[in-house]
Structure 1
């Protein structure tokens, strides 16, 4: 397939016209910040072989400022998402063990940076990571899709991302509802896209 035959990625304007994609509500999102909650989350997640995966880091605002993120790791099944805060060492250790587990696919978008930060912060190399942008490229799309483009192509829906939540303080001890919904839905959309691509 030559460059001009490659499939176009939908534009922002095209996506803006679509009906909204459904979202996971707070009733299907669990915030995890203790060892006990992390154990519960692990036992629920282990039953699924594919997880939507993403991380959030507190934004950096200066040129040479180095992020000490990620501050949040999100993992999702098609029915439920878990948002792990990484303040608590025991919680961090459990997340690291989940990410290092090679028997579970972690699917997401733009995971290069996330993976590097996880190696730096959790001293673990995430295993079985699937970059969904690479799947779309292999199928003939010419640009990185990102979650918005993928949801538009596969579901004919518009995925909403709040700029305010995106640039909020992910290192805060208490996350607000908007942050939880934003973080969880990024991971949830990724697992929905994985299944819609017929990758199982």
Structure 2
């Protein structure tokens, strides 16, 4: 018989001390081909990336979001927030997601994968939805990044509701959007490593 574990409640998480976050000094906004090339050079040194996407939210019943508008990838040291307006930048983001042999770890990635296939025309490879790992370990409900950080680090992951529902299709992202997007990916990678899933140390 499998042991089941409760997912932490919102009330319990609210009592915890905050989890550390990446500041703007460790977040790179990627908008051009040259910026994307530099990002991929640094990302190539790691065996696993934190991964997430953001799309412009929809508020009307029949409104369609043509996201993702942002793809974020993180190593343990930094995070890169790719805007997908520029065709060359978009192509390199797609290339990164389709790169085999690098784990892309995140939470609730089913919709992200579908949107990436539709917009970027690639199948993301070696994607690991961390919710599945927690389910295998006896957690009944989807954990999400907040629950995972609470369980593994006994800390409260801060997510801005205002940033999450902001317009990710804007040409210029705000500092709050950059911090939100980057830390979603970075925290997922922290969780991945804390779960002991790392296949090896980052390459030199």
Indicate the TM-score class for this superposition, using the shorter chain for normalisation: over 0.9
- Distance in 2 (CA, whole Å) between partners of 1:56 and 1:168 is 10
Query: Where does residue 41 of structure 1 map in the other structure?
Result: 39
Query: Where does residue 176 of structure 1 map in the other structure?
Result: 174
Query: Where does residue 98 of structure 1 map in the other structure?
Result: 96
Query: Where does residue 50 of structure 2 map in the other structure?
Result: 52
- Distance in 1 (CA, whole Å) between partners of 2:36 and 2:144 is 28
3-state secondary structure, aligned to 2:28: strand
3-state secondary structure, aligned to 2:134: helix
- Distance in 1 (CA, whole Å) between partners of 2:115 and 2:106 is 15
Deviation of the 1:66 alpha carbon: 1.4
Query: Where does residue 65 of structure 1 map in the other structure?
Result: 63
Query: TM-score, normalised to structure 2's length?
Result: 0.96
Query: Where does residue 117 of structure 2 map in the other structure?
Result: 119
Deviation of the 1:39 alpha carbon: 0.2
Q: Between Structure 1 and Structure 2, how many residues are aligned? A: 198
Deviation of the 1:152 alpha carbon: 0.1
Deviation of the 1:63 alpha carbon: 1.1
- Distance in 2 (CA, whole Å) between partners of 1:38 and 1:158 is 32
Query: Where does residue 7 of structure 1 map in the other structure?
Result: 5
Indicate whether 1:159 and 2:146 are aligned. no
Q: 1:186 aligns with which of 163, 184, 188?
A: 184
- Distance in 1 (CA, whole Å) between partners of 2:164 and 2:140 is 26
Query: Where does residue 135 of structure 1 map in the other structure?
Result: 133
3-state secondary structure, aligned to 1:118: helix
Query: Where does residue 202 of structure 2 map in the other structure?
Result: none
Unpaired runs of 5+ in structure 1? none
- Distance in 1 (CA, whole Å) between partners of 2:195 and 2:61 is 38
Indicate whether 1:28 and 2:26 are aligned. yes
- Distance in 2 (CA, whole Å) between partners of 1:84 and 1:57 is 12
3-state secondary structure, aligned to 1:92: helix
Indicate whether 1:149 and 2:165 are aligned. no
3-state secondary structure, aligned to 2:7: coil
Deviation of the 1:67 alpha carbon: 1.1
Deviation of the 1:102 alpha carbon: 1.0
3-state secondary structure, aligned to 1:19: coil
Deviation of the 1:65 alpha carbon: 1.3
Taking only aligned residues, the RMSD between alpha carbons, in angstroms, comes to 0.7
Deviation of the 1:186 alpha carbon: 0.1
- Distance in 2 (CA, whole Å) between partners of 1:100 and 1:174 is 26
3-state secondary structure, aligned to 1:158: coil
Query: TM-score, normalised to structure 1's length?
Result: 0.98
